[in-house]
Amino acid sequence: MPTPDLPTTQISDSVEQLWGLALQVAGCRQCGQAFLVETIRLGQPCPNCACGKLESQPARLTNQPPELVVPFAKTQADVRAVLENFVRGVWLAPDDFNTETLLRRAVPVFWPMWLVDADVVGIWQAEAGFDYQVKSSQESYSNSGWRSREVIETRQRWEPRAGQIVRHYDNVCVPAASDHARLVKLVGDYHLDKAAAYDKARVTHSVMHLPDLPPHSAWPQAQVGLNHAAEQECLKAAAAQHIRNYSVKANYESLNWTQMLLPLVVSYYADDDGKNHPVYINGQSGMIGGVRMASQRKGWRWAGILAGIAVVLLIMGLLLSVVGLIPVGGFLIFVAILVGMAALVPAVWPWQWNRRQQPEKIVSH
Amino acid sequence: MLDHPKLAGWQPPSNYQPVPSTLEGITVFAPRPADLVVEEPTTYKCPNCGAATKYDITAGGVACEHCGYTTLAQAQKVGVQAQRSEFTLETLGQAEKGWGLDRRVLHCDSCGAELAIAEGALTATCPFCASNRVNLRQAPSENLRPRFVIPFKITPEIVRQRAREWLGKGWFHPSGLADSSAIDRFSGVYLSFWTFDANIGSDWNAEVGYEREERYYDASDKEWRTRTVIDWRWERGHVVTRVNNLLVAGTARLSHLILEKVYPFNLNDLVTYSPDFLAGWQALTYDITLPKAWEAGKAIMREKAKSACYADIPTNHVRNFSMSADFSDEAWRYVLLPVYVAAYLFEGKTYQVMVNGQTGTVAGQKPVAWWKVWLAMGLLLAPGLLLGLVGLILTAAGVGIVLLGVAFILLIIGVILSIMIYRQAVASEAA
């Protein structure tokens, strides 16, 4: 089937007219993502990668305002609790990695999904599964004789089905950001049924992440979504309980692409080398994701202190041994060896911990 | 079909038919069921001469005795691979109803007569024009019609010969029984049977005893002796038993005692059902419904599973045995199997005989000449009794102890043999 006509994006100056907010298009040279931000946020770290700065730039937009928005469900206190839990448990954390810093840098962001409406016109075929019940038995024998117990089992009967379909589907959700899967892995799924109609009051003071997957790039996934919606309806139409090996040869007509906005809180912290690491919090569920780095520098510092103590103890132990206080000197040498060995721990720990943090680990709240 | 220009010209696969759709804008087509056609009563008349035709064993098809016209029965040999059905709640619900007990009226297409056919009969022969009819229309559901059949393989001539041979065997039956003309009247009947299959996973738990030789000191004899003691310990095990093609009769009209003696049937000869096999022969529907037959089948299966569990135990010393039997993959078939049945009168009493229509195995009731039985028992008991009497007399004289011992052994042997003969005689008359 041919690819249907898809909407194009264009350089637009009518953001305020479409979104109802005085927003400016900005981008990050590091990650190449584009955003709609209030002018005040220009020059701040990128809310996607936290590495680059937001700079004013033109971007390609669709000429449709967002249709739905999933509102933030987490308050400042909730976010603080999530961050406290996230920060806790990292021994030798960088100085920058603390609740207050992360909370201060937290930015509310809405990231996009496409909502696709379409008519699916085509022919389908599948195997439809119908549940049926069979009666089985469990028998037991003891001195009192046989006892029988009936067991009802549900099994499936698969039968081929085929037919035509002419159905309209609204709001099939399709990723509009290339790192959609990564973000979902980090912060979990959203309850999209909680989405409400777009209202500028719901998104004020937030950063809008613009789609980097235009409709022609997102179309294959939109097609999968539409086919899945059609599959579920064919299952229903066949009055079956299960469906498998579904295929459809369809034309997609009356396509309409709008956006749905998903709430995200983004913050960041800097590691020893000054490299920023973003932290993402699902604005609906509170699930948090991001890398939790330990400070190698702090590790070396502690290792140095412990090694110094060990050297001092060793010297004292040796001196006391030379002057004849062998038991006390021996004890101090023994303690020096223990402290010297303990000095290895803070040296090695951050390295081991940071290795385990690659790739990004999820800490859910 | 939906009215849309992009769908114009689309046709469902050729063997598909529309089925109801619960959603507007989606049509649903499904394969047409193979056995949707309701089987009409079939009348068997020769297309050549108009005489009645019937299934001929030697010809393997429907033949006209008058002009020799023959057509082969249209059936496919399926053997034990014959399709099985599951115990669905739907089928069990329908099976509970049975075929109904009312006498039915069948219209003869040949002469127009209305025939009253007997309860449970699937076939009828018109007494006015002799045409043979087969009718399955009153089955409670499609899957409770007989779908497989073993056709008759033994001809009535061979049956008569085997029955005579069988009647002539045995010394305690009346003389001349084999010459009885009554035994000639055999009727070939297709009887309804259920076959059952199941896997039974059994977990058993029991105290198992292991014998051990033990040395002990006998204080009274002041010496060491050896004795056998049993060490008991709890054990458990798991046994999987597969039961295939367990046969349970679907009719209570005939003696199961006799019927089970003409087993087994070789189910490798099962063919798909065709009314041709029933033409001119009697056929009875089941009157033992599927749930009742399955209860009987299950009772046999679980005893098999119990035996398998006992076989799993390495010794014969078992106590506090308990087990569970978990049935799975249960399946059933409804089949028609060939049996010749005859009843004969002898000295005012009716006796039943059956012959397996596939293998020729004969079983049934035979009258007993009881005077022969009593005489034989008397002869068996007499040596022991007489010798015992002589022994008693001699014991009084102080020398008969040995004789009494021998008499006792002979009497015991005589009693055992007499009981065996008596039981055999009773079983011979039992139905």
pLDDT tens string A60-79: 777 778 899 999 999 999 99
Name which of A134, A142, A227, A232 to mutate to probe chain B: the one with the most chain B Cβ atoms within 10 A of its Cβ. A134
Does the CB of A134 have a partner CB in chain B at under 8 Å?
A: yes
SS3 content of chain A, % helix, strand, coil (to 5): 35, 35, 30
Q: Which residues of chain A lie closer than 8 angstroms to B10, CB-CB?
A: 123, 164
Q: What is the pLDDT of residue B100?
A: 47
Q: Which residues of chain A lie closer than 8 angstroms to B31, CB-CB?
A: 159-160
Kindly determine whether residue B88 and residue A132, on different chains, have CB atoms separated by under 8 Å.
Answer: yes
What is the rounded CA–CA span in Å between residue B415 and residue B379? 11
Q: Which residues of chain B lie closer than 8 angstroms to A236, CB-CB?
A: 22-23
Q: Which residues of chain A lie closer than 8 angstroms to B90, CB-CB?
A: 132
Kindly determine whether residue B29 and residue A163, on different chains, have CB atoms separated by under 8 Å.
Answer: yes
Residue B186 has pLDDT above 80, yes or no: yes
Q: Alpha-carbon dihedral of residues A226, A228, A229, A230, nearest 10 degrees?
A: 90
Quote the DSSP letter at residue B408. H
What is the rounded CA–CA span in Å between residue A164 and residue A159? 17
Residue B248 has pLDDT above 60, yes or no: yes
Question: How does strand A107-142 pair with strand A207-209?
Answer: parallel
Nearest CA in chain A to B92: A135
Distance from CA of A353 to the nearest CA of B (A): 49
Both tokens of residue A246? 């579904």
Range with the poorest average pLDDT among A16-30, B286-300, B413-427: A16-30
Distance from CA of A132 to the nearest CA of B (A): 7
Q: Which residues of chain A lie closer than 8 angstroms to B330, CB-CB?
A: 134, 136-137
Residue A42 has pLDDT above 70, yes or no: yes
What is the rounded CA–CA span in Å between residue A298 and residue B232? 69
Query: Tokens 């050896």 label which residue?
Result: B226
pTM score: 0.68
The Cβ-side half-sphere exposure at B261, using a 13 Å CA radius, reads 16
Continuous segment of H or E residues that includes residue B310: helix B290-312
- Mean pLDDT computed over A308-322: 93
Does the CB of A53 have a partner CB in chain B at under 8 Å?
A: no
Closest CA to B332 of A349, A134, A33: A134
Average pLDDT, chain A: 90
Name which of B14, B16, B21, B88 to mutate to probe chain A: the one with the most chain A Cβ atoms within 10 A of its Cβ. B21
Q: What is the pLDDT of residue B102?
A: 43
What is the rounded CA–CA span in Å between residue B188 and residue B183? 13
Please name the residues in contact with A187: beta carbons below 8 A apart, sequence gap of 6 or more: A264, A280, A281, A282, A285, A287, A288, A289
Tell me: the pLDDT tens digits for A282-303?
999 999 999 999 999 999 999 9
Both tokens of residue B230? 């049993």
Distance from CA of A155 to the nearest CA of B (A): 9
Alpha helices, H only, chain A? 15-19, 76-87, 99-105, 180-187, 200-203, 215-237, 296-322, 326-342, 344-356
Kindly determine whether residue B12 and residue A122, on different chains, have CB atoms separated by under 8 Å.
Answer: no
Predicted confidence band at B101 (pLDDT cuts at 50, 70, 90)? very low
What is the rounded CA–CA span in Å between residue B331 and residue B84? 6
Beta bridge partners of B233: B208
Residue B246 has pLDDT above 80, yes or no: yes
Residue B130 has pLDDT above 60, yes or no: no
Angstrom CA distances, A206 to A43, A46, A266, A352, B133, stand at 16, 13, 11, 37, 87
Residue B128 has pLDDT above 60, yes or no: no
Predicted confidence band at B243 (pLDDT cuts at 50, 70, 90)? very high
Closest CA to A150 of A135, A169, A132, A130: A135
Q: What is the pLDDT of residue B121?
A: 67
Average pLDDT, chain B: 85
Report the amino acid identity of residue B227.
R
Q: Is B119 left (phi over 0), alpha (psi -120 to 50) or beta?
A: beta
- Mean pLDDT computed over A253-273: 92
Kindly determine whether residue A140 and residue B322, on different chains, have CB atoms separated by under 8 Å.
Answer: yes
- Mean pLDDT computed over A107-125: 94
Distance from CA of A245 to the nearest CA of B (A): 15
Does the CB of A352 have a partner CB in chain B at under 8 Å?
A: no
Nearest CA in chain A to B299: A146
Continuous segment of H or E residues that includes residue A11: strand A10-11
Q: Which of A105-119, B275-289, B347-361 has the largest mean confidence?
A: A105-119
Residue B129 has pLDDT above 80, yes or no: no
Q: Which residues of chain A lie closer than 8 angstroms to B6, CB-CB?
A: 121-122, 251
Q: What is the pLDDT of residue B106?
A: 61
Tell me: the pLDDT tens digits for B137-168?
555 555 677 889 999 999 988 998 888 888 88
Both tokens of residue B239? 């046994």
Instruction: Report the sign of the C-alpha dihedral through residues B113, B119, B123, B124, in that order.
Output: negative
Q: Which residues of chain A lie closer than 8 angstroms to B320, CB-CB?
A: 143
What is the rounded CA–CA span in Å between residue B283 and residue B121? 6
Q: What is the pLDDT of residue A359?
A: 58
Residue A265, classed as helix, strand or coil, is: strand
- Mean pLDDT computed over B313-320: 94
Residue B120 has pLDDT above 90, yes or no: no
Q: Which residues of chain B lie closer than 8 angstroms to A239, CB-CB?
A: 20, 22
What is the rounded CA–CA span in Å between residue A359 and residue A42? 30
- Mean pLDDT computed over B240-252: 93
Q: In this complex, which of B26, B92, B298 lies closest to A233 when CB atoms are compared?
A: B26
Q: What is the pLDDT of residue B37?
A: 47
Does the CB of A129 have a partner CB in chain B at under 8 Å?
A: no
Name which of A135, A144, A169 to mutate to probe chain B: the one with the most chain B Cβ atoms within 10 A of its Cβ. A135
Distance from CA of A167 to the nearest CA of B (A): 6
Nearest CA in chain B to A121: B6
Buried/exposed B164-199: b ≥16 CB within 10 Å, e otherwise: bebbeeeebbbeebeebeebeebebbbbbbbbbbbb
Q: Which residues of chain B lie closer than 8 angstroms to A162, CB-CB?
A: 12-13, 16, 28-29
SS3 content of chain B, % helix, strand, coil (to 5): 30, 35, 35
Cis peptide before B264 (omega within 30 of 0): yes
Residue B240 has pLDDT above 50, yes or no: yes
Question: How does strand A242-270 pair with strand A207-209?
Answer: unpaired
For residues B133 and B123, the answer to whether their CB atoms sit within 8 Å is: yes
Residue A16, classed as helix, strand or coil, is: helix
Greater model confidence, B52 or A220? A220
Kindly determine whether residue B7 and residue A159, on different chains, have CB atoms separated by under 8 Å.
Answer: no
Residue B236 has pLDDT above 90, yes or no: yes
Kindly determine whether residue A139 and residue B320, on different chains, have CB atoms separated by under 8 Å.
Answer: no
Q: In this complex, which of B13, B26, B89 lies closest to A135 when CB atoms are compared?
A: B89
Nearest CA in chain B to A162: B29
Give the number of other Cβ atoms within 10 Å of residue B371's Cβ.
Answer: 10
Give the number of other Cβ atoms within 10 Å of residue A232's Cβ.
Answer: 13
Residues in chain B: 431
Q: In this complex, which of A143, A155, A164 lies closest to B7 when CB atoms are compared?
A: A164
What is the rounded CA–CA span in Å between residue B382 and residue B388? 10
Q: Which residues of chain B lie closer than 8 angstroms to A135, CB-CB?
A: 87-89, 92
Both tokens of residue B212? 């051990």
What is the Cα A165 distance to its own chain's centre?
A: 36
Backbone φ, ψ for residue B7 (5° rounding): -105, 5
Beta bridge partners of B163: none
Tell me: the pLDDT tens digits for A156-213?
999 999 999 999 999 999 999 998 999 999 999 999 999 999 998 888 889 999 998 9
Question: How does strand A107-142 pair with strand B104-107?
Answer: unpaired
Both tokens of residue B313? 């135990």
Q: What is the pLDDT of residue B255?
A: 87
Q: In this complex, which of A141, A152, A159 lies closest to B30 when CB atoms are compared?
A: A159
Distance from CA of B138 to the nearest CA of A (A): 25
Q: Which residues of chain B lie closer than 8 angstroms to A167, CB-CB?
A: 23, 25-26
Q: In this complex, which of A122, A132, A162 lies closest to B13 when CB atoms are compared?
A: A162
Does the CB of A143 have a partner CB in chain B at under 8 Å?
A: yes
Q: In this complex, which of B20, B306, B324 lies closest to A138 when CB atoms are compared?
A: B324
What is the Cα B10 distance to its own chain's centre?
A: 54
Distance from CA of A256 to the nearest CA of B (A): 20
Q: Which residues of chain A lie closer than 8 angstroms to B4, CB-CB?
A: 121, 164, 166
Q: In this complex, which of B6, B19, B21 lies closest to A121 when CB atoms are compared?
A: B6
Please name the residues in contact with A263: beta carbons below 8 A apart, sequence gap of 6 or more: A70, A71, A72, A73, A108, A109, A110, A206, A282, A283, A284
Does the CB of A38 have a partner CB in chain B at under 8 Å?
A: no
What is the rounded CA–CA span in Å between residue A332 and residue A315? 9
Nearest CA in chain B to A149: B326
Residue B246, classed as helix, strand or coil, is: strand
Closest CA to A322 of A311, A336, A333: A333
Query: Which residues of B sit within 8 Å Cβ distance of A?
Result: 1-2, 4, 6-7, 10, 12-13, 16, 19-23, 25-31, 86-90, 92, 298-299, 302, 306, 320-328, 330
Q: What is the pLDDT of residue B119?
A: 57
Q: What is the pLDDT of residue B379?
A: 93
Cis peptide before A359 (omega within 30 of 0): yes
What is the rounded CA–CA span in Å between residue A224 and residue A166? 17
What is the rounded CA–CA span in Å between residue B114 and residue B131? 13
Tell me: the pLDDT tens digits for B189-206?
899 999 999 999 999 999
